[in-house]
Amino acid sequence: MIRLSWINDRLFLILGVLLLLVSVFLMEFAAGDGEDSVDSSNLLVHLLRFSIQGLCLLIILINRSKFKSSKIIMLAFIWMIWMILCNTVDISRYFINLSFTLFWPLILLSFNALSKYDVIYIKRMPTFICILYIVNLLFYIYVLQFKNQDIEGKLASVSHVYYIILLLPWILTFKNKTVKNLLLLLTIIVTVLSAKRGAILTVGLIAIIYLYFDYIVFMRGVKKIYGVVIGMVLGLLIVYSFIYLNDINDGYLLQRFENVEEDKGSGRLYIYEEVLHLYDRLPWEMKLFGASHNSVIKTTSVGLSAHNDYLEVLYDYGIIGFFLLISFLLIIIRNTRHLYRIRSRVFVAYFASLIIFLIMTMVSHLILYPTYIIYLASFWGGVDKEISS
């Protein structure tokens, strides 16, 4: 008789290949400007997303008896139920909107189911993450060169760097510190080159947290002295890298941060005000249920999304959706504190996921678009047994 763990191992391999493919086509679509190849890539993204969700449903179904009633798992199920209900507001795009909004919770639940058999940690996950990291890095370098080829005196702002950054929580679970340190340093360098202020802030905070806890707080005896020295060396190396990259680009990176007050966060404050005004004018039933997925971009005068997940969720999924998002944030904070108290091996990685979630939901979009959030969702699902056990 075939064991369930054997089946899950094969299902994970298939899921891993599909996630790798969808990442590549998502990046290709985001990098394009509407050419035929991009349209073809967009079609493949849709097909892959539906295929992944079908596979996730199969994984969840055959492992349904293995779910424990942890808060994050329960909230993922509640989120899916609410998405099924609130997206009925726009029935013409109901199924495509569902494919967007159900994607990340299905990934979370699937990785949670697979982790019960140690498929993720022991056999496959580190190798898969390294392959995914290399593929994302190569594509990012290609896009970076393309975006900067006609620019003088400054760097293009390249959002593809988030396909690398959101792998950091997984990378920080690696047991091999040399590999972990090299990938973190490489991530810092490519993040600085992206000229994304939110990304630089995110990775900078993650680096500080990692060095502080892994090389100082969690060290004991003589190892603590070595840890402090190594942490200081790595910290100085990170600072020097930023200064060097800033200097060779004529101080443009620091200028980006100095101009935050002048450009109002690249116009975000104006968008925030308009979204709040538009929400205030909605009828009460739409304030409760929302205007359906990705509706802000259709109604703002500048044709942009809210650039803030809390405002976007409030407008798209209503008050209940907003409450669920806040609940999710509170659960991540609570889980982080719990992992610190028990000195869990995944504490620093989980703390990194909290930093990513906080910053990206406040100044960008993590929940709205079913792209790199799948890396974070897989991580939360995969390490949940550390919290619920």
pLDDT tens-place string over residues 184-228: 989 988 888 887 878 888 998 898 899 889 888 776 665 666 666
> What is the C-alpha to C-alpha distance for residues 91 and 189, in angstroms, rounded to an integer?
45
Whether pLDDT at 148 is above 70: no
| Predicted pLDDT at 142 | 83
Dihedral angle at the C-alpha atoms of 183, 185, 191, 197, nearest 10 degrees? 130
> Is residue 83, in this structure, part of any structural domain at all?
yes
Per-residue confidence at 36, pLDDT binned at 50, 70, 90? very low
Based on the number of CB atoms within 10 Å of its own CB, is 263 exposed (0-12), middle (13-18) or buried (19 or more)? exposed
Residue-range definition of the domain harbouring residue 185: 151-258
DSSP letter for 69, please. -
Per-residue confidence at 299, pLDDT binned at 50, 70, 90? confident
- Are 295 and 187 in a shared domain? no
Per-residue confidence at 263, pLDDT binned at 50, 70, 90? very low
Whether pLDDT at 313 is above 90: yes
- Are 386 and 277 in a shared domain? yes
| Predicted pLDDT at 309 | 94
- Are 285 and 369 in a shared domain? yes
| Predicted pLDDT at 260 | 43
Whether pLDDT at 74 is above 50: yes
| Predicted pLDDT at 189 | 86
Number of domain units in the chain: 2
Average pLDDT, the chain: 82
Name the residue with higher pLDDT: 91 or 44: 91
- Are 253 and 269 in a shared domain? no
Per-residue confidence at 270, pLDDT binned at 50, 70, 90? confident
| Predicted pLDDT at 5 | 79
- Are 272 and 353 in a shared domain? yes
> What is the C-alpha to C-alpha distance for residues 164 and 183, in angstroms, rounded to an integer?
10
